[in-house]
Amino acid sequence: MKRNRLMYDYEAYVLILPNVILYAAFILIPAIGTIGLSFTDFNIFQSNFVGLRNYTRLLDDARFLRSLGNTLYYTVGTIVPSLVLGLLIAVVLNNPVRGRAGFRMVIFLPHVLSVVAVSLAWMYLYNPSAGVFNQLLRQMGLPRFDWLRDPDMAMPSIIAMQIWNGLGYYMVVYLAGLQTIPDYLYEVADMDGASRPRKFFSITLPMLAATTFFLIVTGVIFSFQVFGQVYIMTRGGPLNRTTTIVHQIYYRGFEGYQMGYASAMAVFLLLLTVTVTLVNIRVGRGRGADDAA
């Protein structure tokens, strides 16, 4: 009895108590609360149980369905070019070159800026008359665009901005991945007379599979949360061509006060994110076993 009491630190409950309260009040209970609210017509003032009506409404909501397509477009459109460009820059930077630290610093710098600052700067770049892009195009005698107000150009324009904004992240993670590839693999390949492209495709790329997977998972999770760029630059327009899942949650929940309905969208986002994370954990485990063998 006495021995047992000595072994346990019951004070620990006091030490973790502030965290437990805050975590319960602001993460755990809200996570359950989102699910609960999604079965109601909650609008801040009143709340009635409506069963699955919010969910059946989602299936008929053209705007929400559009936002799913847009979010997917944004996700793929940002991640694929970022992976390719990030890897290429990292591979070049991983060699001895003058000014290496400076290059790395400037390329990473956009990543530390806020979504508001980045969006405002690019709204200026994209401005049809005063904007830099159109001025440059005009001086070169090329056709100009109404970047953010053309339904077919708006999302690609946001994606281009996002690739610029996040490229440093992909580069830095790939640089960390490149450090883990043992030199002897390249030395052996050199002895066999392997060409540069051959070494890249047979050693570098496969050895970076785990890094690439990590970048895809984090990229997907971040992309599902995209909101600020869209809210600031286009308000989801033109013709709802840039509205995203979180933009719809905000639009329904905090502009229309249909919080029950918005909660159903939030549950969808939650399930999507949890699924991606669980797949990540499962694949990570599988790979861990392979490495051990």
Partner 1 sequence: MLHSLKPRAVSRSLKQSIAREVRFVVLAAVTFLMAFPLLIIIFTAVKSDPEMVLQQFRLLPREWRFDNFSAAFQYGDWGRYYFNSLYITVVTVVGSLLLNSLAGFSFARLRFPGREAIFFLFLVGMMVPYQSIVIPQFVVLRSIPLAGGNDLLGQGGRGWLNTYWALIVPFLSGSFGIFLCRQFFFSIPKSLDEAARIDGARPFYIYWRIFLPLAKPVLATLAILKTAHTWNNFFYPLVMISSRDMYTVQLALQQFQGQFTVQWNLLMAATLVSILPMVAVFLLAQKHFVAGIVTSGIKG
Residues 183-202 that bind partner 1 (CB under 8 A): none
**Closest residue by Cα to residue 40 from 265, 263, 262, 260:** 260
First-residue to last-residue Cα distance in the chain: 45
Find the binder of partner 1 among 72, 76, 121, 178 (CB under 8 A): 121
Find the binder of partner 1 among 139, 141, 184, 291 (CB under 8 A): 139
Find the binder of partner 1 among 72, 207, 216, 221 (CB under 8 A): 221
Q: Does 279 bind partner 1 (CB under 8 A)?
A: no
Nearest CB to partner 1, comparing residues 28 and 188: 28
HSE-up (13 A, CA, CB side) for residue 21? 5
Find the binder of partner 1 among 1, 12, 191, 292 (CB under 8 A): 12
Q: Does 132 bind partner 1 (CB under 8 A)?
A: yes
C-alpha to C-alpha distance for 172 and 222, rounded to whole angstroms: 17
Report residue 235 as tokens.
């308000």
Piece of the chain touching partner 1 by CB under 8 A; list 74-82, 147-155, 254-262, 285-293? 254-262
Piece of the chain touching partner 1 by CB under 8 A; list 60-68, 146-154, 181-189, 265-273? 265-273
**Closest residue by Cα to residue 75 from 262, 280, 215, 175:** 215
Binding track, positions 145-184, relative to partner 1; x by CB under 8 A = -------------------x--xxx--xx--x--------
Report which DSSP code applies to 213: H
Residue 184 CB, shortest distance to partner 1, in Å, is: 20
Q: How far is CA 274 from CA 217, 270, 278, in A?
A: 11, 6, 6
Find the binder of partner 1 among 80, 84, 120, 209 (CB under 8 A): 120
Nearest CB to partner 1, comparing residues 114 and 293: 114
Q: In the window 35-74, what residues touch partner 1 (CB under 8 A)?
A: 37
Q: Does 117 bind partner 1 (CB under 8 A)?
A: yes
HSE-up (13 A, CA, CB side) for residue 157? 31
How many C-beta neighbours within 10 Å does residue 111 have?
16
Find the binder of partner 1 among 1, 2, 3, 19 (CB under 8 A): 19
Q: In the window 75-94, what residues touch partner 1 (CB under 8 A)?
A: 89, 92-93
Q: Does 239 bind partner 1 (CB under 8 A)?
A: no
Degrees to nearest 5, angle at CA 80 with 86 and 209: 70
Longest CA–CA span in the chain (Å) reads 88
Q: Does 23 bind partner 1 (CB under 8 A)?
A: yes
Region of 40 on the Ramachandran plot (φ > 0 left; ψ -120 to 50 alpha; else beta): beta
